[in-house]
Amino acid sequence: MAKIAVYPGSFDPITYGHLDIIQRACEIFDKLVVVVSDNPQKKSTFTLQERISLIKECLKDNSQVEVGSFSGLLVDHLKSKNVKVVIRGLRAVSDLEYEFQIASMNRSLYKEVETVFLMPGEDYTYLSSSMVKEVAALKGDLKKFVPPAVEKALRQKFR
């Protein structure tokens, strides 16, 4: 049976850090579904459609990855798709408390779910979508942090 995992997140926008985690997950799982959270309570810079399009553009050559979205509880989405594995990235110890809380809550809502934490390459341990947006707003160089399509979208957003 194919091993499938879901990688949920805001991806506002996708960075090389997210892509590093996706690459690593693809080494372990047969199929990875990247799902963008559609949470009206969390204000995002890019719309849901923009975030999905950018991820699709960055992963167009990777046939192992599918891109989708979810709203509401992640565990309800997992149940509806019959997937039990969630991928999350851990950059530093500072991520752990938040990630531990989410993973524990998800497990208490859906006891079969397993969260697999992957560490990015060390070049990406400091990278986050919000840092990238700050650099973009201040017209800094983005090449090391995001693929060209995302860089272009950030330039337009922060013009």
Q: Is the dihedral of CA 62, 59, 100, 114 positive or negative?
A: negative
Q: Does 18 bind ligand ADP (CB under 6 A)?
A: yes
Active-site annotation holds for 91: yes
Cα–Cα distance between 110 and 3 in angstroms, integer?
A: 19
Report the site for ligand ADP in 139-158 (rule: CB under 6 A). Answer: none
**Nearer CB in complex with ligand ADP: 42/159:** 42
Sole binder of ligand ADP in the list 5, 6, 21, 54 (CB under 6 A): 21
* Helical packing angle, 129-137 and 148-157, nearest 10°: 60
**Residue 82 and residue 110 in contact, taking contact as beta carbons nearer than 8 Å:** no
Active-site annotation holds for 18: yes
Report the site for ligand ADP in 54-93 (rule: CB under 6 A). Answer: 88-89, 91
Cα–Cα distance between 31 and 7 in angstroms, integer?
A: 11
Q: Which residues are catalytic?
A: 18, 42, 91, 129
Residues within the interface to ligand ADP (CB under 6 A): 9-11, 15, 17-18, 21, 88-89, 91, 95, 120, 124, 127-129
